[in-house]
Amino acid sequence: MSFTALFNPRGVAVVGSVTPGKLGHVLLSHLVAGGFEKIYAVNPKAKGFAHVPGFASVGDIGDPVDLVVVASPAATVKAVLEECGRKGVKAAVIISSGFSEAGNVAGEEEIKATAQKYGIRYIGPNCAGMINTYSNLIATLQARPPRGGTAVISQSGAVGGAVMHWAEELGLGVSKFVSYGNGSDLNQIEFLRYLKDDPETKVIALYIENINNGREFMQALKEVTQEKPVVVIKSGRTSTGQRAALSHTGSMAGSDAVYDAAFKECGVLRVETIDDMFDLCKGFANLPAVGGRRLAIVTNSGGPGVMAADKAEEMGLDVAEPSADLKAALQSFLPSFAGVKNPVDMTVEATGEDYRRVLEEVVKEYDAAVAIFLGPPYLDTMPFAEGILAAARATGKTIASAIQSGCGVTESARYLREQGLPNFPSGERAVRVLARMAEYAEYKARGCRQVEVPAEKGLLFASGPLLEPEAMAILKENGIPVPEFHFATSQAEAVQAARNIGYPVVMKVVSPQIIHKSDYGGVELNIDSDAACEKAYERIARAAAERDFRGVVIYPMLTGGREVILGLTRDAQFGPVVAFGLGGIYTEVLKDIVLKVAPVDRAGAAEMIRSIRTYPILEGIRGQEPADLDALAETIANFSRLPFLYPDLGEADLNPVFVFPRGVLVGDVRLLKKP
């Protein structure tokens, strides 16, 4: 769709009461105060507002109207849209509530159908409206933020409104704001795609509480983050209400981990608080991209410098010592008592000019710099703001200002902001921003990976649950290495199979009624002779006699590999998700599991392997040979394709999978039908 009608309409009609205190009145006040010119008030009595003319119906307006803002009662919205359709209105912002959020699903369907009939695209219902600061269009209940590079998309009207309030108060420059409420037509996906190419928008801030189409959302995010950064707050991280049903393996990571995995894959920067979101937006909208992780910290106070350095180390930035050349350059003009390390501590004697010169020097060697200033209240901060700004301008490098206290600190921060250089309230917060900017730059440089979804092969469970030998055969067929195995239905067959494989062997019960085989005496390890094999068969057959015993499957006894586990599940929002972690008792205790939205390719699988905490155990420590990580990555990639090949596969666990110095073998498998 074209968003021109929405963001740059020729005329805007507000449908709703103009009585003070009513939503229509609030909306008209904002529109007028914002300076938008072609406004029309629509209400039964055709009342106007200030210089805005009043009409009884949208159809009565003679001039062109592209956008209508609807704040009349829910029951009237359908009729309003009919009117709008006949008038040729192309876009609507439906503030009115009382639809699906209040149980009125039919009402929402009705307005959707009406809008579709006339080709009207709309935001809402039950939303807080939208803003385009660059067309002076404030079609919202909320405050009026200054112009700037941050676009804000909020599902929640309340949170969106609060964000606009803070943006106005703190001077965060906004390009566009949209609160999409119930999102029954336009939602975050359309706006992400639109804002991707919006020249006024440098960074997109997104607040969501829940989503529907995870795959399409990810696709939109991937497209956008190749162009500009997206900062997200997704509430409900640990809330019990939102927990999706995951396989055993996956559930150890927690369902919110799927969101985390999706965001990470899409290069989206997730934050937890509005403060973090604002900080990041300030950085992205105003600072040059961060070219790497080497950070210089320049300060006039030791402790805060160290606190910033701590935060930098924690966030993976490199606070390396300056080179001898740089030290010499700094010592040539700094007083002898200045600490020429990293942080560069110029002490309380530092001047604004010192900040300028030091910053100009350090960014020759470092990728970015943070300038921290803590002044006593009688020391004017403005010269320091000027020094930091001059260095940022002269070098064009990423220099973050953190003037924290001193005389006129509020004015200095505002001055910097007006000059396009954000000031952060502390060194740590500035550092956090630079670290996340570096993270985004790395993602962008790496490029976004599109993994092809394989075509369907067919159904797995057409004739009921899969027995273990059948499941193993499916794995083998799809490039997932399984050990040699034989199905045996008698003692004699079992002995023959064991001889073929070679002792020692493992024997496991095969029964559609037995899932947890060990609990039923259904697993016999280390069988080392024909006699032991016969006895093992007898014991298993006896234990499973009442439970649809079909026979046993015999494997070689595997030893010497490191155990990992793989899982697959279908997430309600994102579809198939693959999980990987180290096996054994530590997995349960440490929950050292990583998730990724499936399918993954070998590179994606390799990333998963590297990202678990116990990765060094796979790499080999204490002189141990490394596990075969290439084979493991290929196994994970092939495994992650299964839910696409077999649409009736609901969940899968491979536990354990043995990773040897050469090769991989699945130790046990469980494939379950989708409910």
Of 213, 209, 264, 189, the residue nearest 571 (C-alpha): 213
For residue 673, give the 3-state DSSP assignment: strand
Q: Is 157 exposed, middle or buried (0-12, 13-18, 19+ CB in 10 A)?
A: buried
Residue pair 291/367 in contact (Cβ under 8 Å)? The answer is: yes
For residue 525, give the 3-state DSSP assignment: strand
Q: Which is nearer to a copy of itself, 324 or 589 (CB)?
A: 589
Q: Which is nearer to a copy of itself, 390 or 523 (CB)?
A: 523
Q: Which is nearer to a copy of itself, 87 or 165 (CB)?
A: 165
Q: Which is nearer to a copy of itself, 134 or 586 (CB)?
A: 586
CB of 152 to a copy of itself, least distance (A): 14
CB of 381 to a copy of itself, least distance (A): 11
CB of 227 to a copy of itself, least distance (A): 27
Residues in CB range of 624: below 8 A, 6 or more apart? none
DSSP, res 2: -
CB of 363 to a copy of itself, least distance (A): 22
Of 536, 582, 535, the residue nearest 562 (C-alpha): 582
Packing angle, helices 74-87 and 105-118, rounded to 10: 10
Of 7, 10, 45, 8, the residue nearest 24 (C-alpha): 45
What is the CA 203 to chain-centroid distance, rounded? 15
Q: Which is nearer to a copy of itself, 310 or 530 (CB)?
A: 310
Q: Which is nearer to a copy of itself, 47 or 613 (CB)?
A: 613
Neighbours of 229 (CB within 10 A): 26
Q: Is 303 exposed, middle or buried (0-12, 13-18, 19+ CB in 10 A)?
A: exposed
Tokens of 125: 């219902």
Q: Which is nearer to a copy of itself, 462 or 585 (CB)?
A: 585
Residue pair 338/368 in contact (Cβ under 8 Å)? The answer is: no
Place of tokens 């943070």: 370
CB of 547 to a copy of itself, least distance (A): 22
Packing angle, helices 157-170 and 274-286, rounded to 10: 50
CB of 155 to a copy of itself, least distance (A): 8
Residues lying near a copy of itself in the complex (CB under 8 A): 26, 102, 128, 141-143, 155-159, 161-162, 165-166, 207, 209, 233, 235-239, 272-275, 300-304, 306-307, 309-311, 313-314, 337, 348, 374-378, 404-406, 409, 425-426, 428, 585-586, 588-590, 613-614, 616-617, 621-622
CB of 33 to a copy of itself, least distance (A): 12
Neighbours of 324 (CB within 10 A): 8
CB of 459 to a copy of itself, least distance (A): 35
CB of 512 to a copy of itself, least distance (A): 25
Q: Which is nearer to a copy of itself, 275 or 538 (CB)?
A: 275
What is the β-pairing status of strands 649-659 and 669-673?
antiparallel
CB of 387 to a copy of itself, least distance (A): 18
Distance CA 261, CA 239 (A): 17
Q: Which is nearer to a copy of itself, 209 or 546 (CB)?
A: 209
Report phi then psi at 239, rounded to 5.
Answer: -55, 130
DSSP, res 556: E
CB of 259 to a copy of itself, least distance (A): 12
Distance CA 250, CA 112 (A): 37
Q: Which is nearer to a copy of itself, 303 or 512 (CB)?
A: 303
Residues in CB range of 208: below 8 A, 6 or more apart? 155, 188, 232, 233, 234, 235
Q: What is the DSSP string of 417-439?
A: HHTT--B-SSHHHHHHHHHHHHH
CB of 445 to a copy of itself, least distance (A): 27
Neighbours of 447 (CB within 10 A): 9
Q: Which is nearer to a copy of itself, 445 or 589 (CB)?
A: 589
Place of tokens 């008698």: 490
Q: Which is nearer to a copy of itself, 57 or 154 (CB)?
A: 154
Q: Which is nearer to a copy of itself, 227 or 318 (CB)?
A: 318
CB of 158 to a copy of itself, least distance (A): 4
Residues in CB range of 29: below 8 A, 6 or more apart? 49
